[in-house]
């Protein structure tokens, strides 16, 4: 449908109009003109239109992805990222492409030489993360996780929670990006990958993994996975084992949420003293970009998790 995929080039300008007509401009950036404009007639297939309208948006994000890394000075490498995101958008027609997926996909393109391997690695990761990117006019994908974050801070640090409430930040929307792209902006490239490895290992539960393998897990996957025998329990990651033992069934109570809580706790005094509005909260949290230590943040997250489970069990 779009032969530029796999050509080492990528698209940054629209190739069709909203009603499916090919763009008349033949000087579209980064395109193999004679090959790309393979459709000369109006497109009627809604899925094809929806997908083709995304392609230049993906290209614009690709051009901005990890620009500080030498790897992306090569256009062929940028094109690999665009290829994978474009094919995924076709495969997952329900969600398609949402800004932020480029941040999740980029490390896989860098680490895996083979484009197909990188694609399937990204596709598997998206089985866990795709709901983060489901947005509508009334809700955002990580809203349930933000709600869980609010409950956690309220339980372990009621003073900070009340302060954020007073600033009209009780919905914790300022933490949206951290959860959406799994700390790619807050931590260095290497530390972010360390965190991903750590989170996914510590959250491992054979039952949940089976559910992810067979289908996209529903909101009740954690409940089903809590009914495990001792043999399976030993196979669970450290974080997940605690959830199973305490029969915590909240599917949004993931390690990433506790990592955000640990970040907030490291800035506790500064937030209480200096934050007079939500802009101040955003600025204070923005100052941490690239300056956090992944191991310390994770250790603090596990302490908060333990404290939270203890408090919720009492109530």
Q: What is the pLDDT of residue 209?
A: 64
Token code pair at residue 99: 């800004």
Residue identified by tokens 């995101």 is 85
Domains of the chain, residue spans: 33-133, 143-203+254-314
What superfamily does domain 143-203+254-314 belong to in CATH?
Ypt/Rab-GAP domain of gyp1p, domain 3 (1.10.472.80)
The whole-angstrom separation of Cα 292 and Cα 262 is: 11
Q: What is the pLDDT of residue 251?
A: 75
Query: What residues does 22 pair with on adjacent strands?
Result: 16
**Could you report the per-residue pLDDT of 19-53, keeping only the tens digit for each?**
888 887 544 544 544 444 444 467 778 999 999 99
Q: What is the pLDDT of residue 23?
A: 84
Q: What is the pLDDT of residue 56?
A: 97
Q: What is the pLDDT of residue 41?
A: 60
- Give the residue among 154, 306, 148 at the shortest CA–CA distance from 241: 306
- In the predicted model, residues of the chain with pLDDT beneath 50 are 26-27, 29-30, 32-40, 214-221
206 to 22, 27, 232: CA distances (angstroms): 48, 52, 7
Task: Give φ, ψ of 22 to 5 degrees.
Answer: -60, 140
The whole-angstrom separation of Cα 218 and Cα 85 is: 24
Token code pair at residue 289: 């970009």
DSSP secondary structure code for residue 245 in this structure? H
Same fold flag, 33-133 and 143-203+254-314 = no
DSSP secondary structure code for residue 1 in this structure? -
Q: Which CATH architecture fits 33-133?
A: Orthogonal Bundle (1.10)
Token code pair at residue 19: 């009603």
pTM of the complete model: 0.85
């Amino acid at each position: 449908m779009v032969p530029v995929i796999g050509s080492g080039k990528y698209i940054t300008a629209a190739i069709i109009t909203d009603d499916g007509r090919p763009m008349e401009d033949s000087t579209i950036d980064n395109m193999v003109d004679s090959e790309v404009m393979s459709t000369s007639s109006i497109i009627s297939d809604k899925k094809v239109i929806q997908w083709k309208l995304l392609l230049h948006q993906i290209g614009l994000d690709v051009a901005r992805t990890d620009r500080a890394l030498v790897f992306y000075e090569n256009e062929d490498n940028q094109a690999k990222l665009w290829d994978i995101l474009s094919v995924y958008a076709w495969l997952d027609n329900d969600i398609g492409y949402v800004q932020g997926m480029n941040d999740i996909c980029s490390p896989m393109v860098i680490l895996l030489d083979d484009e197909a391997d990188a694609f399937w690695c990204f596709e598997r990761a998206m089985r866990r993360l795709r709901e983060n990117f489901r947005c509508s006019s009334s809700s955002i994908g990580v809203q349930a996780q933000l709600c869980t974050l609010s409950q956690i801070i309220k339980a372990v640090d009621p003073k900070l929670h009340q302060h954020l409430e007073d600033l009209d930040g009780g919905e914790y929307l300022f933490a949206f990006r951290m959860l959406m792209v799994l700390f790619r902006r807050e931590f260095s490239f290497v530390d972010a990958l360390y965190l991903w490895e750590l989170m996914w290992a510590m959250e491992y539960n054979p039952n949940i993994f089976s559910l992810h393998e067979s289908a996209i897990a529903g909101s009740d996957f954690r409940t089903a996975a809590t009914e495990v025998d001792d043999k399976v329990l030993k196979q669970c990651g450290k974080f997940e084992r605690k959830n199973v033992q305490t029969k915590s069934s909240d599917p949004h109570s993931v390690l990433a949420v506790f990592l955000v809580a640990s970040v907030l706790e490291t800035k506790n005094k500064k937030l209480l003293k200096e934050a007079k509005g939500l802009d101040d909260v955003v600025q204070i949290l923005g100052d941490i970009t690239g300056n956090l230590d992944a191991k310390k943040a994770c250790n603090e997250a596990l302490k908060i998790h333990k404290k939270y489970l203890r408090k919720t069990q009492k109530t």
